[in-house]
Structure 1
Amino acid sequence: MSSAGVIAISPICRESMVIPSHFLHSQESILIYVAMSGSMVPMRVLEYDSIDSVKLQIQTCKGFVVKNQKLVCGGRELARSNSLIKDYGVGDGNILHLVLKLSDLQVINVKTASGEEFTFNVDRSRDVGYVKRQIAKKKGALVDSDEQEVLCNGERLEDQRLIHDICKNNDAVIHLFVRKSAKIRARPVEKNFELSIVAPQLNDKVTENRSGNEVDNKLLVPREPPDRASILEPIIVNPKIEVPLVISDLIGSTLEGLDRGHYPIRSTEGTGGAYFILDATGSKKVSVFKPIDEEPMAVNNPRGLPLSVDGEGLKKGTRVGEGALRECAAYLLDHPKNGRRSFSGEALGFAGVPPTVIVKCLHSGFNHPDGITPKIGSLQKFMDNNGSCEDMGPSAFPVGEVHKIAVLDMRMANADRHAGNILMSKGEDGQIVLIPIDHGYCLPESFEDVTFDWLYWPQARRPFSSETIEYIKSLDAEEDIALLKFYGWDMPLESARTLCISTMLLKKGVERGLTPFTIGNIMCRETLNKESVIEEIVQEALDFVLPDSSEDAFLETVSRVMDRRLDEIAY
């Protein structure tokens, strides 16, 4: 994940968001409500407004930049900016849930000696005085802000000091001393701070160092034992499965960090619950855990999104609670160059999907509104990175790196590929390496929401290399379906069909010399309501075969229709 964050924001002004007055009485004017962290803000728009236009109105009133906004209505993300709100079925009285992506937030996790934990987000433009007030407001047991002293590297910080100035270096350490009631210590965890609040005991003693500053006497103040994660184990449904070393190491380092008392850090990115787990030293992230009950529109989703009424996820053809399966499937089907995943000892595959496994984990640091219980979810190795592809233009990306992402997305029919979920790092040769993450919306049951941001990058118009073509030729959808079943996911017929058809298209496309741009355009809709070419191919095959035809007969019909359509495009 990149350093950018996504959170639900409370409104910063009370007045309604409105369109110009001469539109108010138009028959096309509708009243909608923008939900922000539990608050409802009325807003008048035109039914022929685009999604971008609505976001621009929100920006005008609230100051939230358009590119940092996500809108969800009726359980579906309004992802196509140039589509009209009426195309998504938005009508009078509907509620749009606003989720904001902010890059300048400092996440502060506060732990108490009694085991309580709470989190708040501080904009880097805030000052030290604001931080002190936030801490004082969180718990009544804490002292007032004017009773707190804040020191950084031995220097006392005045209330007017900005967080941005303090956090310029990732190794900056802030020590917060709360006189009389508690001591607060903080240390940086990359771009976040983890604070521990230790309430003093009756026999606590405080001494002064030579500079006159108060310091705690560690010999006289015993530390409370840290909370321990009592469960972290892989979900193994097939006794024939041998856990690879890379997965064993991932689970081991994650468990060690939890057992050392390092609380999971909830990411402020995305629309579901995702937690960074630290290593034993507490200085490095080793994994990301995504519980299935905290997925978007799931029962314990921490972002305030409504429950799914029919079980469908934010993207068409996906199901709430299946994100972990799809995350794991993306790793398993990302076969290495030298062979199938089940027979290769390589940790990373052709596209570089991070090692991923489904686990059961019990820890109080997750979202437990109804009591602490074990959670099932995907555990993925955290990959060191220099940000996401949103942080720079695509011109510097190597062609091969873009193409490996394209191959993965097209065969998996990814419904959520954007620049924010492609990380960047540097290889040993200094070249940029792209790392694909967030595959909870791959292998959907339909092609309706398939989207690829890389379609608009110049590398997509370049032909595949011979090495990539050979890799594509080696792909086998039937073997992939069997592999996933071996690991415990008996795919729904519709998802298995998607994998077969997308793999078929990719292989037939490279046979005709088509570029990623051309093949990707076949899979993606030009507009929200205009079916893509691949959808037309599927529908034509469905219209041709008899109702009781076998799946093999249907796929053979798809193959014939696809050959004809591809020949029209290629020649």
Structure 2
Amino acid sequence: MSSGVVLSSIQSEHVLSSHCMSGNPVPPPDESILIYLSVSGSVMPMRVLKCDSIESVKLRIQSYKGFVVKNQKLVCGGRELARSNSLVRDYGVTDGNVLHLVLRLSDLQVIKVKTTSGKQLTFNVERGRDVGYVKQQIAKKEKEFDDLDEQEVVCEGEPLEDQRLIDDVCRYNNNNNDAAIHLLVRKSSKVRARPVEKNFELDIVVSRLNDRENVRRQYDTSEENGRRGYEVDRGIIPRKPPGRDFSLEPIIVNPKIEFPSAIWDMVNATIDGLDVGLDPIRSMEGTGGAYFMQDSYGERFVSVFKPIDEEPMAVNNPRGLPLSSDGEGLKKGTRVGEGAFREVAAYILDHPESGRRSLFGGSKGFAGVPPTLMIKCLHYGFNHPEGVTNKIGSLQMFMENNGSCEDMGPGSFPLKEVHKISVLDIRMANADRHAGNILLGKDQDGQTVLIPIDHGYCLPESFEDCTFEWLYWPQAHQPYDSKTIDYIKSLDAEEDIALLKFHGWDIPVESARTLRISTMLLKKGVERGLTPFSIGSIMCRETLKKESIIGEIVQEAQDSTLPVTSEALFLETVSHIMDRRLDEIAELNC
């Protein structure tokens, strides 16, 4: 990371600018602006053109700072600059603005361990894991080190505490020319004391670094006035972990709700992991706080917890994003602190293919949204700048996966899997569907399945920021099959709104309107034989300056009705206008 730059004394040679470096002529004064890039507490000036694309700005950051474009997220004025082909001026970025750079780090780090007997071991470890986890992996591979209390892990001559995060080790010890962290593991000295009449016999057992021969030394010490006549380095005495106070309980606002067994299994497994002292592991990805919760063996993740107070631009956001000035989230039409409710809503409204989700059913949804519920959790491992308190947020089942759709070309994705994601996103007016939040998994037959996650920006209050990555995949140009069409025809927005209310979320009026209109569009679109691409394109803007077709439809309906018009009459007006626009599109596609 770069060091901080004092803004009041900026020298021209410190300003990142590709125009001067490349020998290009100096741009007109009204085109060139000076912005400030904030990353991990450091600020540096950067000169850009208003006509620069967001992609070109990210490429320049990659060129000068080494941060790969796909790992960058830029935020300005509380809004993510998400559209790569949009211009700096399109987002209203002006001279003197601060752009916050949020980096998505790789969760895996190569760890190379050398034992005292000369063996070398290699592990791929999540950067959010701690040294204690690495010691567990060493014990599984090497019987010589199966006693965790005897292990001592050293990096660059420095003994590492069990609680030390791998990310911290990477940050302070990694050689820039080597992608791996090199550790040495050896047996530590063990102190054993036993009473012999009024004296104590103290044994110190030390493992040599060159062989496995133990050297035994015996000391005889006396006890005087209740004090021992020696001092022991307590760093080498195995200590019982301190007591860990935590609590976790589902939030049930309606006593009639009965969660399916899959949710209770997830909750109980999460509690078991916390109960044995396995701390939550914060994800290195995303713009908010997300924590992987472990099972009681520490061998796998069982759930992901997202506290509402750690959402992007929330009060305890761990990524350094500024507080929202008006309560709006990173995406237009979303509210800070409501992301967890939307995560749960996506699961509740993901009805099974066999029929609408019952109040108590646990069947897998059509799109495969992982089981999700609201919980209240107390643990010191979360982000608590001002003292440990209970946190409310969404708990979602962790899904085993082979990476995300970013890691593979879309041509290999099954047609039905892409279509099921498209149905969910159109219906929920998802404002944040990208390849990174669609996981790649396998079903029982070994076939590829796509798993949609991260739905904190669905059901927005407007259609301004709807974005669907799958629009650019070839499967989006293929028509829906008969089973998918039957599923779409079975959808009922009014029943969905009632179901959300039953589960405790009285959905905002604006979001309810979004759900009604998007469901209407999806059903009318398939009636006319439109493809996912055609329907999805109606919901997404081509550019920031050009309104989406669905936005134009809503605006025309608003212009055609009085402010006091009932919601039913307004939706009827939307329906008539939508029919006309869809007929025009269907005719063009013929």
TM-score range, shorter chain: 0.7 to 0.9
Counting only pairs closer than 5 Å after superposition, residues 198-237 of structure 1 correspond to structure 2 as: 206-209=204-207, 212=211, 221-225=237-241, 227-237=243-253
User: Bigger shift: 443-452 or 13-22?
Assistant: 13-22
Deviations along 1:356-402, one digit per CA (max 9) or x if unpaired, are: 00000001110111000010000000000000000000111100000
Give 2:17's aligned amino acid: V
Deviations along 1:44-79, one digit per CA (max 9) or x if unpaired, are: 111111111111221221122222211100000000
How much does 1:244 deviate?
A: 2.2
Deviations along 1:81-123, one digit per CA (max 9) or x if unpaired, are: 11111110100000001112333753xxxxxxxxxxxxxxxxx
Name which of 102, 105, 123 aligns with 2:105: 102
What SS class does the counterpart of residue 166 from structure 1 fall into? strand
User: CA 1:216–1:371 in structure 2 vs 1: closer, same or farther (change >3 Å)?
Assistant: farther
Give 2:51's aligned amino acid: Y
How much does 1:561 deviate?
A: 0.6
Counting only pairs closer than 5 Å after superposition, residues 132-147 of structure 1 correspond to structure 2 as: none
Q: Distance in 1 between matches of 2:89 and 2:505?
A: 37
Q: Distance in 1 between matches of 2:294 and 2:19?
A: 50
Q: Distance in 1 between matches of 2:565 and 2:434?
A: 37
1:426 paired to 2:442: yes
Q: Distance in 2 between matches of 1:281 and 1:403?
A: 37
Q: Return the TM-score normalized by structure 1.
A: 0.83
User: CA 1:23–1:200 in structure 2 vs 1: closer, same or farther (change >3 Å)?
Assistant: farther
Q: What corresponds to 1:19 in structure 2?
A: 18
What SS class does the counterpart of residue 34 from structure 1 fall into? strand
What SS class does the counterpart of residue 358 from structure 2 fall into? helix
Contact 1:176/1:185, CA 8 A, preserved across alignment: no
User: Bigger shift: 437-446 or 12-21?
Assistant: 12-21
How much does 1:560 deviate?
A: 0.7
Counting only pairs closer than 5 Å after superposition, residues 487-502 of structure 1 correspond to structure 2 as: 487-502=503-518
Q: Distance in 2 between matches of 1:203 and 1:292?
A: 48
1:173 paired to 2:138: yes
Contact 2:374/2:393, CA 8 A, preserved across alignment: yes
1:68 paired to 2:71: yes
Give aligned pairs, total: 510
Contact 2:190/2:205, CA 8 A, preserved across alignment: no
Deviations along 1:508-535, one digit per CA (max 9) or x if unpaired, are: 0011111000000000000012110000
1:452 paired to 2:468: yes
Counting only pairs closer than 5 Å after superposition, residues 56-455 of structure 1 correspond to structure 2 as: 56-103=59-106, 106=109, 124=110, 151-152=114-115, 155=118, 166-167=122-123, 173=138, 176-177=152-153, 184=161, 206-209=204-207, 212=211, 221-225=237-241, 227-343=243-359, 345-455=361-471
Q: Return the TM-score normalized by structure 2.
A: 0.80
Contact 1:361/1:375, CA 8 A, preserved across alignment: yes
Deviations along 1:191-219, one digit per CA (max 9) or x if unpaired, are: x99x99xx9998786523586469999xx
How much does 1:342 deviate?
A: 2.5
1:505 paired to 2:470: no
Contact 1:413/1:450, CA 8 A, preserved across alignment: yes
Q: Indicate the structure (1 or 2) with the bigger Cα radius of gyration.
A: 2
User: Bigger shift: 241-250 or 28-37?
Assistant: 241-250
Deviations along 1:422-441, one digit per CA (max 9) or x if unpaired, are: 00011222211000000000
Q: Distance in 2 between matches of 1:465 and 1:38?
A: 51
Give the RMSD, CA atoms, in angstroms. 3.2
Contact 2:108/2:125, CA 8 A, preserved across alignment: no
Say which structure, 1 or 2, has more relative contact order (CA 8 Å, 6+ apart). Answer: 1
How much does 1:168 deviate?
A: 5.4
User: CA 1:169–1:511 in structure 2 vs 1: closer, same or farther (change >3 Å)?
Assistant: same
Contact 1:69/1:100, CA 8 A, preserved across alignment: yes
Contact 1:153/1:173, CA 8 A, preserved across alignment: no
Q: Distance in 2 between matches of 1:225 and 1:430?
A: 42
User: CA 1:359–1:26 in structure 2 vs 1: closer, same or farther (change >3 Å)?
Assistant: same
How much does 1:41 deviate?
A: 0.7
Contact 1:29/1:44, CA 8 A, preserved across alignment: yes
Give 1:61's aligned amino acid: Y
Deviations along 1:438-496, one digit per CA (max 9) or x if unpaired, are: 00000000000000000000000011011100100000000000000011110111000
Q: What corresponds to 1:51 in structure 2?
A: 54
How much does 1:341 deviate?
A: 1.8
Q: Distance in 2 between matches of 1:493 and 1:214?
A: 74
Counting only pairs closer than 5 Å after superposition, residues 35-46 of structure 1 correspond to structure 2 as: 35-46=38-49
Q: Distance in 2 between matches of 1:153 and 1:502?
A: 63
Deviations along 1:283-336, one digit per CA (max 9) or x if unpaired, are: 110000000000000010000111100000000000000000000000000001
Contact 1:326/1:441, CA 8 A, preserved across alignment: yes
Q: Distance in 1 between matches of 2:276 and 2:43?
A: 42
How much does 1:23 deviate?
A: 2.1
Q: What corresponds to 1:134 in structure 2?
A: none
Give 1:475's aligned amino acid: L
How much does 1:337 deviate?
A: 1.3
Q: Distance in 1 between matches of 2:165 and 2:213?
A: 22
User: CA 1:510–1:24 in structure 2 vs 1: closer, same or farther (change >3 Å)?
Assistant: closer
How much does 1:155 deviate?
A: 3.9
Contact 1:226/1:261, CA 8 A, preserved across alignment: no
List runs of 5+ in structure 2 lacking aligned partners: 6-12, 127-133, 140-150, 171-182, 194-202, 217-235
Q: What corresponds to 2:219 in structure 1?
A: none
Contact 1:258/1:280, CA 8 A, preserved across alignment: yes
Give 1:70's aligned amino acid: K
User: CA 1:288–1:472 in structure 2 vs 1: closer, same or farther (change >3 Å)?
Assistant: same
What SS class does the counterpart of residue 104 from structure 2 fall into? strand
1:464 paired to 2:464: no
Q: Distance in 2 between matches of 1:221 and 1:320?
A: 47
How much does 1:222 deviate?
A: 4.7
Q: Distance in 1 between matches of 2:463 and 2:427?
A: 12
Name which of 492, 495, 502 aligns with 1:479: 495
List runs of 5+ in structure 1 lacking aligned partners: 1-8, 107-123, 129-149, 158-164
Contact 1:32/1:95, CA 8 A, preserved across alignment: yes
